[in-house]
Structure 1
Amino acid sequence: MTASTTDHSAALAFTPAPAPASASTAPRLTSLSHGGGCGCKIAPGVLSQILAQSGSAGLLPPELLVGLETADDAAVYRLNDQQALVATTDFFMPIVDDPFEFGRIAATNALSDVYAMGGRPIMALALVAMPVNQLPLATIGEILRGGQAVCRAAGIPIAGGHTIDSVEPIYGLVAMGLVHPERVRKNAGAQPGDLLILGKPLGVGVYSAALKKDQLSPAHYRAMIASTTQLNTPGPLLAELPGVHAITDVTGFGLAGHALEMARGAAASLQLDWASVPLLPGVAELAAAGCLTGASARNWAGYGADVQLAAQLPALAQSLLTDPQTSGGLLVACAPDSAAAVLEIFAREGFEQAAVIGQVQAGRPGLQVRAAGR
């Protein structure tokens, strides 16, 4: 990785190089990738094995406030008593065919990890891997323009990056932000008695599967774009509330997977009320019609042993709980007397469907899903 713009041309200097594709012969973006969005993530069970083999020994300075310990959303490094640096990276293959929207979605998703730690983004670096002989240069430019549009909306520059020629189109960001050390919100701080609040409805993976099958309506496509390009700006505002104990964002491992990470980090049990979990419009019907991703099944295979599903749950609940979310919502654990303030912040920032979906309980780390609340 480098922030030098002079590196870009060198990274693409391959000899000999056939002429780039023209717009008239260009393939659909999604046809060039074996998976899309956060559904590209390595399955959780496989990832655990890889990380176990890599070892955790190494330099761990006291300034490193958040590292690999609880699979948190970003690393956090204390700079001084007032500032800590939040650093993260995220990239993936196309989830939609519109290059501008793909760039917007990927950039929004990458910045989400900074917000989830309670930080405010300050700048980003672009990660660009493109099949330059299959995609028109104008298409690649639109992907980058989409990412730039999101960063402008977040009030930050894309200050550099790195590019390579690749067999599949990949775009994302290295994102950096700042947070007061006392306002860092890990995924491991949940406490027994806390309520769980979800900021965005589920169903992006179902939408993406329907899109690949040409079964996604224009209205549902618009809902998909609106959800995946909505910046998780409530994060730093929520971190200012003393009653907010933990925050994470729901992405490729699905709601169940990221809730389990929160449970393990807190050494507590999380209980979800399925009837309270918000869904994007039409998701239940599309899932019933078979619009499900392979990542959903891989997610369940990786962590399903730690999830208890109530017998009364609808048949598709498991698939929707494991549905990979691209640029998903924040999952917040807060004291009950802070729930109203949390929901007010979500509403003020444009997250009208944010909802209380469960609670944290003392007990063995795991996830229990009930059909409805008490």
Structure 2
Amino acid sequence: MSEKEIVFCKSGGCTAKLGAGVLEHILERLPKGKKDENLLVGYDSKDDAAVYRLNEHQAVVQTLDFFPPMVEDPYIFGKIAATNALSDIYAMGGEVKTALNIVCFPESMDLNILGKILQGGAEKVQEAGGSLAGGHSIADSDVKYGLSVTGVVDPEKIWENNGAKPGDCLILTKRLGVGILCAANRVSQAPEGAMEQVIDSMTTLNRKASEIGRKYPVHACTDVTGFGFLGHLHEMMDGRHSCKIYADRLPVFAGAEACAEEFLLTAAGQKNRNHLEQYVWFENVSFGMEEVLYDPQTSGGLLFAVPGEVAEELRGKLREAGLPAEIVGKVMERQEVEILVEGRK
């Protein structure tokens, strides 16, 4: 379908997010109110979703996510947006139960386009084992779509994003380079076949990775989305730890590094670099790979921190399930440099 049918914003998918620095500046000034002991995870933790304890054995996981299109096909866009929104439940170690549609849509646009978007989203909610229970829509000048999702989790088995321990290995379950390749595709410069691989990744639920991970002692987990690999890794270190990343082990889409070398980049990626470069040191890493690591991911993979003795087994199980999982680094005691990225020597 043509661009006239979907009004593309300047940035689609998770590249449309506000920068991390802007959010920190705003959130730290919000009134906190009286602390509720049953609110186990709130916005002040920089985590992937909120978690509220109902009783000793049950807690509710709540999240929402929506954004403008990054692909031309409305059905595929709906699937991507839903997959991305559902991911936060999996990143907390939870199970999806219900979802509500969030819709912004121009009244002058063909409603069949909206129908295709909602169809794609509904199919992914069903695949996740959840129930689509309604939603809310407003008239807007641009298309935006996503979900508010509710899940459940055992309060004693929540995966927060800042529980990593020195000695842990870091495992990434999806390839990087989504934002760069989408940007290249918009100017018809993406390598042949690249977008098909990117779309397949963006529409793959993190359900399987989460279910496999629950069989292991996961100390921390996050999904890699708009703040890029390094942004979410920075949150995982929480100012308490450092880590070493092996650039040659990172799963990356073919062509992403080359596109970055040609400056086919996103504004959001540069915001990530500006915010994070004070925490990162690169050794023998190309400019293109640096950009891949700052690149905002739409519907990216899970990043696990697990004890070293189980890392290879977990990686193997994830690979057996068809996921391009790799052990990409290790957590260390706090060093002068928070994130050291090593390339080939």
> After TM superposition, is the score higher than 0.5?
yes
Matched residue SS, 1:53: coil
Question: Is this contact kept in 2: 1:185–1:239, CA < 8 A?
Answer: no
Question: Is this contact kept in 1: 2:8–2:70, CA < 8 A?
Answer: no
User: For residues 235-274 of structure 1, what are the structure 2 equivalents within 5 Å?
Assistant: 235-242=210-217, 244-264=218-238, 267-274=240-247
How many Å apart are 1:54 and its aligned residue? Answer: 2.2
Matched residue SS, 1:32: coil
In 2: Cα distance, 1:236 partner to 1:326 partner: 21
How many Å apart are 1:296 and its aligned residue? Answer: 0.8
Question: Hey, which bits of structure 1, 4+ residues long, moved more than 6 A?
Answer: none
Q: Bigger CA drift: 325-334 or 78-87?
A: 78-87
2:16 paired with 1:40: yes
Q: 1:79 aligns with which of 48, 54, 67?
A: 54
- Measured against aligned partners, the alpha-carbon deviations of 1:23-50 in whole angstroms (never above 9, x if no partner) come to 9x97142x43121000011011111111
Matched residue SS, 2:220: strand
RMSD of equivalent CA atoms: 1.7
In 1: Cα distance, 2:55 partner to 2:257 partner: 48
How many Å apart are 1:227 and its aligned residue? Answer: 0.5
Q: Structure 2: give runs of 5+ residues left out of the alignment.
A: none
2:269 paired with 1:296: yes
In 2: Cα distance, 1:340 partner to 1:317 partner: 25
Code of the residue aligned with 1:114 in structure 2: it is I
- The TM-score normalised by the length of structure 2 is 0.95
In 1: Cα distance, 2:162 partner to 2:279 partner: 17
2:65 paired with 1:90: yes
- The TM-score normalised by the length of structure 1 is 0.88
Q: 1:76 to 1:349 in 2, by over 3 A?
A: farther
In 2: Cα distance, 1:345 partner to 1:65 partner: 30
Paired position in structure 2 for 1:175: 149
How many Å apart are 1:130 and its aligned residue? Answer: 0.8
Code of the residue aligned with 2:4 in structure 1: it is P
Instruction: State percent identity of aligned pairs.
Output: 40
How many Å apart are 1:217 and its aligned residue? Answer: 4.5
- Measured against aligned partners, the alpha-carbon deviations of 1:79-126 in whole angstroms (never above 9, x if no partner) come to 122211111001101010100000000000000000000001011011
- Measured against aligned partners, the alpha-carbon deviations of 1:249-289 in whole angstroms (never above 9, x if no partner) come to 00001000000000016x10121111111101221222222
Number of residue pairs the alignment of both structures matches: 343
2:183 paired with 1:216: no
User: For residues 71-220 of structure 1, what are the structure 2 equivalents within 5 Å?
Assistant: 71-133=46-108, 135-217=109-191, 219-220=193-194
In 2: Cα distance, 1:146 partner to 1:315 partner: 36
In 2: Cα distance, 1:187 partner to 1:26 partner: 38
Code of the residue aligned with 1:27 in structure 2: it is K
Question: Is this contact kept in 2: 1:197–1:332, CA < 8 A?
Answer: yes
How many Å apart are 1:52 and its aligned residue? Answer: 2.3
Q: 1:336 aligns with which of 294, 308, 314?
A: 308
Question: Is this contact kept in 2: 1:45–1:301, CA < 8 A?
Answer: no
Question: Is this contact kept in 1: 2:212–2:318, CA < 8 A?
Answer: no
Code of the residue aligned with 1:178 in structure 2: it is V
How many Å apart are 1:348 and its aligned residue? Answer: 3.8
In 2: Cα distance, 1:60 partner to 1:168 partner: 38
2:38 paired with 1:66: no
